């Protein structure tokens, strides 16, 4: 499982959610580097299913990753269940901006981040996100390489790694590493090299 490469909104610490924001130059290099790392780690990818969130930042990450692995960049599928959680009306804003207009709501999020639902009809909590991520995990039937979003990876840590809600909701999810998951053994392990930028 790989988080998409960096976008300008990531760099600006904006709540991105389901907004379709493209990779920046660092994000493109992260995606290529993750593909090179993955190729060195697994060798042949013949037995793997490749699946991505349908948002452009994850699709471009997947296509750059597959190119770096010497594979046809277009031969993968997408799954709506892998889309990032929706931050509702807060999407596009920094937490500092949210604090200036809704300090009480932001404090509520800090206190109960896993279950907090931002304002807006489409908004989700991490708990709600984990329901669709759990359904996706149960649908897997073999080795899979997945490109997705930070919230989805947090859900996997909660569902597979059984980390606490607080830890899952606040943990850092790198964009320059690959998460190896063994659902049967309930183990998760990061590999790859960090980049700066």
Contact between 52 and 76 (Cβ < 8 Å) = yes
State how beta strands 77-78 and 178-182 pair.
Answer: unpaired
Contact between 32 and 70 (Cβ < 8 Å) = no
| CA dist., res. 65 & res. 28, Å (int) | 9
SS (H, E, C) 106-126: HHHHHHCCCCCCCCCCCCCCH
* Residue carrying the six token digits 């037995």: 47
- Enumerate helices (H) and strands (E) in the chain, giving the number of each: 8, 6
Contact between 83 and 55 (Cβ < 8 Å) = yes
Q: Which residues belong to the active site?
A: 4, 84
Contact between 61 and 29 (Cβ < 8 Å) = no
| CA dist., res. 119 & res. 140, Å (int) | 33
As given in the structure block, the two tokens for residue 32 are 């290529």
């Amino acid at each position: 499982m790989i988080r998409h490469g960096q976008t300008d909104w990531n760099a600006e610490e904006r709540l991105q959610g389901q907004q379709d924001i493209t990779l920046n130059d660092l994000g493109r290099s992260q995606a290529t580097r993750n593909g090179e790392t993955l190729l060195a780690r697994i060798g042949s990818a013949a037995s793997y299913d490749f699946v991505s969130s349908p948002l452009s930042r994850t699709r471009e990450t997947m296509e750059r990753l597959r190119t770096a692995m010497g594979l046809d960049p277009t031969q993968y599928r997408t799954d709506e269940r892998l889309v990032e959680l929706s931050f509702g009306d807060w999407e596009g804003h920094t937490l500092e901006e949210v604090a200036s207009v809704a300090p009480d709501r932001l404090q509520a999020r800090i206190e109960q981040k896993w279950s907090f639902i931002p304002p807006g009809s489409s908004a989700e909590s991490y708990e709600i996100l984990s329901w669709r991520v759990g359904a996706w995990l149960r649908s897997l039937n073999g080795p899979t390489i997945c490109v997705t979003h930070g919230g989805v990876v947090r859900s996997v840590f909660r569902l597979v790694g059984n980390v606490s809600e607080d830890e899952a909701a606040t943990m850092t999810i790198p964009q320059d590493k690959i998460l190896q998951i063994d659902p049967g053994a309930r183990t998760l392990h990061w590999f790859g090299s960090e980049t700066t930028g």
